Chains A and B, each alone.
Chain A
């Protein structure tokens, strides 16, 4: 007798979920859907709650007759109360009289609701939320009501999941873009990075970063925040900022990790993250690293097989109170390559981790000359079908031999001076300079660069170029060039700058032209210090 009526209702539901609403924004769609549910079932209230990314909390997303629920952003723990029980058991729940039931949400009582019926929103068998309706008078919801509501929920779940995916994908892309740092351009180091989001387009917590420290050394980090979704991504962003702040403070990698661990415990107790952080001194040919439970880096020396660094056991960030981490120092000669990665790169379902690690080492051993090509090859070999359930990241760094003549460009900023000094010191070392040669010539060049930075450019960003070449094997010529309009030095210390250059180099030549100013410094290497 009711079958015709039910068929009508189903048609109603199908029409609103499948066709007309398909082009509406999600909020409008849900609102319309609830209006129809209220109408068709003859109830007083209807609400949709969605599961948060952490899978532990339900948050109201749309409501009819219960708008306060959305406005107040009530949070319902999964497993507790009416809606929480539906989400936890993935089964419908009927309540005849609210006065005799366990309910978490105070608004349900405030509204004077008496009877409730709720069903789970399921996508591919997973709960994504709850749809419930209520009446102010007592009503015994029957199987047909339940079936009808479940159909509405299924349609809603489908719409929600596709909209969410779309939204998440957009945000995930934006986040991913911001997560990929602009890799710094340094003369003695080549860098390449890759990030692959997980196949399901859910956000992951993998990240990497690379930046120059004030003294010209290079800071590299790769990490993995446990968990997924926007929340994990947000934590990742905070860790990233924290890392940079602590790293710029000039403390060792182990201390940076100790501080980050405390930071993570403060931001979100219970959340953990693995992290590998290292400082690379391309001039000194060394690196210092510390690991917080992260997979070991792979090192390809100038000759010989690549090898995995033997890291002592360490706990992830946030896992324990007052964690101590250890610094490890390594040789890192020009031509060496280091590969940092997250487990998403090497783990493949149904095979031991060693297989992935072996593939990784074998790919690096092929000896790609271009780091970017190696980055591509690693992705091709390790993740031929793209990332799996987990996202994946890798970061490659190689200390490059310095050319003679050397040409390097720096932003015209005071911070570039130490960077230039480090580079030049290494180049001079290679050219056979003595300690005094290195000291004097790097200082003279720093003075020339300071001149360019302070006098060649106004507030617009400029560039300083360093060229260095050996002449007949025993003397060097360094030129420091700007591309701005030189103006008269201000203040007395610039006069001392020129005095120093003349005192430290054998020959100082200043050439001014419309295109900028070049200061050329020459010196015989190995001569007795002045």
Chain B
């Protein structure tokens, strides 16, 4: 408490300044970081207006209003942290906390209505509580991850209730009411989502920081130390989850190379430079391994199909470019507006077809049939999978002009392609593009510590909002481009586009090349964010030597952190991420238990108190205990 009183005046002083002042209050320069654990950097009071903005941000991250990009931007804690920081007046620290919270979710993937954790809940609420409650980024991670599990309830509620609105859309389809179907895809689901998102997040953002900070103040010190230790270990989970996608085959060595590049340059090599090296290596890797070469003609039987033939007669009705664009934009905005267990993107597909139906069909019977045809179960990756929409639109156009294309033909394209294209699309967007760009953004956001030490999550590190901004720009351009090209090529070339693209090996090349780059960056990120500090010391010639600092690290810096990552990866192959998460949390907190006596010489002397951990320390190095003060 004395320590906190001493820092009350520093509430609004940038963290870098705190770090330079801290040694003055500490006992020795090398234990300085220990003066700042859990709750110390001063609080920000969250006003109701700010809480409302944060709650709105959380709603938007699951909403359709950001041109389909919410899932790749506001959804991610790195971005959420930046915006929470802006709202609360400290974007640098917000970005840093968001980046830290994002690391455990680096390998997050939601496919086919599965949803392992409410990532934006952890991002928006976690950053708010940490920033306003004055938690350091490491404790923020340990607080945010359980929040993410709590938030899943919101997703489940939405997936179940939205099924009802699909039936409302059926009702309008039966009447041939195009606008009705479009509205049913958006209005009821979004009103419902807004209510179940806004209310809990508003309450938590407004009142949560004080509650959590007070609660942390009442817990024993070893427990809050345990949270900080967990904050250093939980990033291993996100890295290991991402490794499940990219850590394989001939790309494996690049992970270790990335780790070593970072540790052996003492963290002075920026993630951007490492990514540039990764690009060069990816090029060389592809050139020398020949991965992704075009599939030999003999390996795959020629499909013998030509691009969908146009009817010979002069068409009665033609789609205009504006119709295609409107349809594409509708899908890009609203594909997941009414996502539900029963039909997943079914109503979104029908909604996207409304501009097409308006142009092609005039009789109520035709309109009714077309709406019903497209209101069925549908689910694919909403960007690369757009090939299906383009193809289906071309088929609808031919049908309207009298070609013999029945419902079965259209349904079989949709149901046959939605799976495989989701497989390819998810491999590209969710498990390659997003984690690699996030890793880059998180790396930039992690900033550098004052005093030239290795940038970690330690107090004194300043965040860099540029990390969030660079990530948003890159991911948005890539995702929208993929969606647009797939849509238009699907329309122009139909199924030939799919086979040509797959046969060319281009997608394999992208995935293999991105795997090389991704492993290198991921390795560096592991070195940057996974932090483990061993407590035990050995007596050597009368001096107490820390096993890690004096023996392990001089041989292989970061060996312990690498060991934790590999162990987590190994565990993930055997059990579920939730169990691994629980294990890591329990282990971290238990490792801080002061089993070997209080070891406390000065009451309230935190820097020494923190060093009573049995196994792991919150920060390193933990110096020699101070001499007792003269009475």
A joins B in a complex: no
**Chain B residues near A (Cβ < 8 Å):** none
